[in-house]
Amino acid sequence: MIDYGAAFSYPFRDRDWLLKFVIGGAFILLSFLLVGLPVVYGYCIEVQQRVRRGEDHPLPEWKDVGVRFIVGFKFLVTLFVYRIPLFIVAIPFMILVILASGARELGAAEVVGGITFVAFIAFVMLYGVLLLLLMPLIAHKYSEHEHIREGLQIVTILSLVGEHWRELLLIAAMSIAIGVLALCGLVFFLVGVLLTLFYAMLVQFHLYGQLGRQISETPVVNV
């Protein structure tokens, strides 16, 4: 069973949590230069791995930044592959918009453009919700051996949804909530959005690690 309260409280059990949060926030700031984000994700993957092993205290030290960069970069590549369908759908969408804008009859152009736009937005939203739900499982498979190909085992990932859909829904809802609060700067005693964003990621990956531990402890039934 997932302990949701522990995901929110565990970072503060580390006596050096403030320093580690400040460093994490600094790397998030460097994400604007496309440098820090892979490091932060690499750090969070280690958090997830530790939680899966039952070692969520203390927080990992900020060392081996190069290794974390590689681990996080490969995870970002994994996530990018899952977003390729969005780019594939965007291409015909842009073509239809261009054709509609060149239509002689303005009414027809508006109808075609409107339908196309609504269909595209609906697809983006539905696909985004699907990825949000699958994110814990994608991170779980990737973190096992830090291989991109394992994070892309979509058949295996989907096979886990039926048994863990309740946890996936709750984790997704909590991820959205903590993300919104972090962006508003309302978490972490109003210290700053960078630290709250880092905190939100720690909470998410702690939940991912707990789900991963639950999956690992589930006995395999041979049919």
What pLDDT digit, counting tens, does each position of 96-129 carry?
A: 666 666 655 555 556 666 777 788 888 889 999 9
Query: What mean pLDDT comes out for the span 43-51?
Result: 96
Burial of 185 per CB tally in 10 Å (0-12, 13-18, 19+):
middle
Confidence class for position 147, pLDDT limits 50, 70, 90: very high
Query: Given this model, what pLDDT does residue 216 score?
Result: 85
Helices (H), the chain: 4-9, 17-30, 36-52, 65-82, 84-101, 106-145, 148-151, 154-183, 193-217
pLDDT greater than 50 at residue 151:
yes
pLDDT greater than 70 at residue 171:
yes
How far is it, in rounded angstroms, from Cα 183 to Cα 210?
A: 24
CB-CB neighbours of 16 under 10 Å: 12
pLDDT greater than 80 at residue 42:
yes
Bigger pLDDT: 177 or 115?
A: 177
Bigger pLDDT: 120 or 220?
A: 120
How far is it, in rounded angstroms, from Cα 158 to Cα 82?
A: 13
Among residues of the chain, what percentage have pLDDT more than 90?
Answer: 60
How far is it, in rounded angstroms, from Cα 78 to Cα 80?
A: 5
Query: Given this model, what pLDDT does residue 191 score?
Result: 52
pLDDT greater than 80 at residue 182:
no
| Each residue's pLDDT tens digit, 69-105 | 999 999 999 999 999 998 888 887 777 666 666 655 5
Confidence class for position 186, pLDDT limits 50, 70, 90: low
Query: What mean pLDDT comes out for the span 127-148?
Result: 95
Among residues of the chain, what percentage have pLDDT more than 70?
Answer: 85
Query: Given this model, what pLDDT does residue 144 score?
Result: 94
Query: Given this model, what pLDDT does residue 222 score?
Result: 42
Query: Given this model, what pLDDT does residue 108 score?
Result: 59
Query: What mean pLDDT comes out for the span 21-43?
Result: 89
